[in-house]
Amino acid sequence: MSTTLGFRPLYQQVYDLMVTKISDGEYRPGEMLPSEQQLAGQLKVSQGTVRKALDTMTSENILERRQGKGTFVSEQTPERSTLRFFGFSRPDGTPLTPQNGEESIRKRKGTAKELRQLDTDGSEDVYEISRTRLIENKPAIIDKIVVSAKPFQGLQEQGKIGTALYTLFQEKYGIHVISTNDEISAIVASKADAKKISVEVGAPLLMIQRSTFDIHKKCVEFRITKVNTQGIIYTARI
């Protein structure tokens, strides 16, 4: 590894290399990494340099440390994704787990706004996932999820995705979701919204516009979620 002036700091070079190895599938989700000492020997750097790189990756949720076991590549199971990236509860703090409702996937041309949000590499085609989710068996959440078609070829053939979207990203497409940015605002229900989640037209809804980023800090998903605010609180954990 180079320490020549003008290159990235040595620990950052180790970080970049490890990210590439994970992205390329050399280290799989849930797999334990070699020890810091072994990695230092392989990369011909100090153990402290490796530790700093791994600490940074752990803080960004790319890796996870398990006491007494080692360091592992973070794995996106449906349960972990729900706990980490989504948070619905009652006002008294009782957690709520959305259930699967109606869902459809279609391929279309992206809008100017969607293409600005996504790193599309010049492609204009996107997949749109439209779905409703249930809270205690009642429709309460509307999702419109848009991803660039190029890295997600065949997404429409996956069947009903439900809550396992980020797990599918990781397992099928090698795309590791590590962070999200949510912009939250208050809106009123349109006629179409009211029909989907059984509220009055003009009822208050919470709108969450989400940009989702992968291990390379590239935006891979743009999502608009509308939530019936009656008795439901949304908590942003990221």
Per-residue pLDDT tens over the stretch 113-139 = 899 889 776 668 999 999 999 998 999
60 and 173 co-located in one domain: no
120 and 63 co-located in one domain: no
127 and 208 co-located in one domain: yes
- Domain end: 73, 95, 119, which one? 73
CB 161 within 8 A of CB 168: yes
161 and 206 co-located in one domain: yes
81 — pLDDT class (breaks 50, 70, 90) = low
Instruction: Give the whole-number percent of the chain exceeding pLDDT 90.
Output: 50
Inside any domain, residue 210: yes
3 — pLDDT class (breaks 50, 70, 90) = very low
Of 162, 144, 178, which is closest to residue 56 (Cα–Cα)? Answer: 178
5 — pLDDT class (breaks 50, 70, 90) = very low
pLDDT tens digit string along 10-69?
999 999 999 989 888 899 888 999 999 999 999 999 999 999 999 999 988 889 999 889
Place of tokens 């037209």: 201
Q: Which residues of 6-34 are buried (b: 16+ CB within 10 A; e: fewer)?
A: eeeebbebbbeebbeebbeeebebeeebe
Q: Is the pLDDT of residue 85 over 50?
A: yes
CB 129 within 8 A of CB 224: no
Residue 123 CA to residue 113 CA, distance in Å, equals: 14
Q: Is the pLDDT of residue 84 over 90?
A: no
Residue 86 CA to residue 83 CA, distance in Å, equals: 6
Q: What is the pLDDT of residue 97?
A: 83
Long-range contacts of 92-96, Cβ-Cβ distance < 8 Å, separation of 24 or more: 96/135, 96/136, 96/232
SS3 180: strand
224 and 128 co-located in one domain: yes
- Domain end: 47, 73, 99, which one? 73
- Domain end: 41, 56, 73, which one? 73
Q: What is the pLDDT of residue 86?
A: 67
Average pLDDT, the chain: 87
**What is the extent of the structural domain holding 162?**
78-234
